[in-house]
């Protein structure tokens, strides 16, 4: 009886959601024109149906689009499968502050230390927060570190009072050498040194034309700026070409046959490119890589094919075809 009642409730819920879409002609047309709309994990208290914030057409035209539709985690669970709390603990998330929250209560909610939350957001115990503000929440107590040239795991372990073996295991590295400039590591149980250190990359000023859109026109943005300094792009089809946003050297190509949404901590199959100015770009949720580590690529060169289709190898944290374009070391020009 309980299972039957739950099933009935889900069917009714899906019916109500369908009805709400049918009453909104703009959203209905959007769905008809895009059979691969994506759901993404945004603020941890809610999920949204991915729709473009705006569309860039050429260089000077911006076309507005309809706002995202908000689902509660319970509704999303009925539609695409529940997100267990243990799953959330495997990845860095963005939390949208609710009325009544304070820094200590948020740290307690995610079972991390207050210092961990403060370090991740460059805050102190006296910092003021407000509703709707977003905070970065690490999956465990410790420190977030951005890899710079010449750094080693053993040095990081010593700096942050962590353990080399724990860093390797938590970040799913094959060995101590399996790190690259621009990588973002979690130092489990690490502590920020008392002497101030810069653990996030410095920002390199870039000309507006330095990066090009990593997909073909129209340059359709399906999710605005989110962790880490990333924008999602898609024209709605898997296996579309992904282009190098600027020339550089391919640092790593990470591929897996796993269909888990937690592959590579949610990023899925991905490529990173080191550019001559020290900035690193990351291309996540790819279906196929067309370049190899160490290869020099030019701006506009096809480097991969778009993935993200659920159930496919290396899709990662995605329910539709798109590329996660991250920038480490400079402002993301598409934000």
**Of 68 and 244, more confident:** 244
Q: Tell me how many degrees the CA angle 247-228-86 measures, rounded to the nearest 5.
A: 135
* Dihedral sign, Cα of residue 262, residue 264, residue 270, residue 274: positive
* Cβ–Cβ < 8 Å for 65, 52: yes
Any idea which architecture 219-328 has in CATH?
Distorted Sandwich (2.70)
Helix axis angle, 2-22 to 25-33, nearest 10°: 100
Average pLDDT over residues 180-202: 81
What pLDDT does 266 receive?
87
Q: Is the pTM of this model over 0.85?
A: no
Delimit the domains of the chain by residue range: 86-188, 219-328
Instruction: List Cβ neighbours of 3 (8 Å cut-off, separation of 6 or more).
Output: none
Mean pLDDT lowest for which of 18-22, 43-47, 114-118, 135-139? 43-47
Residue 173 neighbours by CB distance under 10 Å:
15
Is 86-188 assigned to CATH 3.20.10.10? no
pLDDT band at 265 (very low <50, low <70, confident <90, very high): confident
pLDDT reading at 119 higher than 70: yes
What pLDDT does 10 receive?
42
pLDDT band at 277 (very low <50, low <70, confident <90, very high): very high
* Cβ–Cβ < 8 Å for 309, 238: yes
């Amino acid at each position: 009886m309980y299972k039957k009642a739950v099933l009935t409730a889900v069917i009714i819920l899906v019916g109500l959601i369908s009805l709400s879409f049918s009453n909104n002609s703009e959203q209905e047309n959007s769905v008809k024109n895009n059979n691969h709309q994506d759901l993404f994990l945004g603020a941890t208290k809610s999920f949204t149906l991915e729709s473009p914030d705006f569309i860039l057409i050429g260089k000077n035209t911006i076309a507005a689009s309809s706002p995202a539709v908000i689902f509660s985690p319970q509704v999303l669970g009925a539609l695409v499968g529940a997100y267990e709390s243990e799953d959330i603990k495997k990845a860095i998330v963005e939390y949208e502050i609710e009325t009544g929250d304070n820094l200590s209560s948020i740290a307690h909610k995610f079972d991390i230390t207050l210092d961990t939350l403060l370090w991740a957001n460059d805050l102190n115990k006296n910092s003021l927060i407000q509703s709707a503000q977003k905070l970065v929440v690490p999956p465990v107590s410790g420190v977030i570190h951005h890899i710079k040239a010449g750094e080693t795991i053993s040095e990081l372990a010593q700096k942050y009072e962590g353990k080399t073996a724990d860093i390797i295991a938590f970040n799913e590295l094959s060995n101590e050498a399996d790190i690259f400039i621009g990588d973002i590591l979690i130092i489990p149980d690490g502590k920020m040194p008392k002497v101030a250190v810069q653990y996030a990359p410095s920002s390199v000023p870039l000309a507006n034309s330095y990066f090009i859109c990593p997909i073909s026109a129209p340059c359709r943005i399906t999710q605005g700026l989110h962790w880490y300094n990333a924008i999602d792009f898609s024209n709605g089809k898997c296996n579309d070409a992904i282009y190098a946003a600027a020339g550089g050297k391919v640092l790593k190509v990470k591929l897996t046959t796993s269909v888990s949404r937690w592959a590579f901590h949610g990023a899925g199959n991905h490529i990173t490119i080191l550019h001559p100015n020290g900035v690193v770009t990351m291309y996540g949720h790819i279906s196929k890589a067309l370049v190899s580590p160490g290869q020099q690529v030019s701006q506009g060169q096809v480097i991969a094919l778009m993935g993200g289709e659920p159930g496919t190898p290396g899709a990662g944290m995605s329910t539709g075809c798109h590329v996660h374009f991250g920038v480490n070391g400079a402002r993301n020009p598409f934000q």
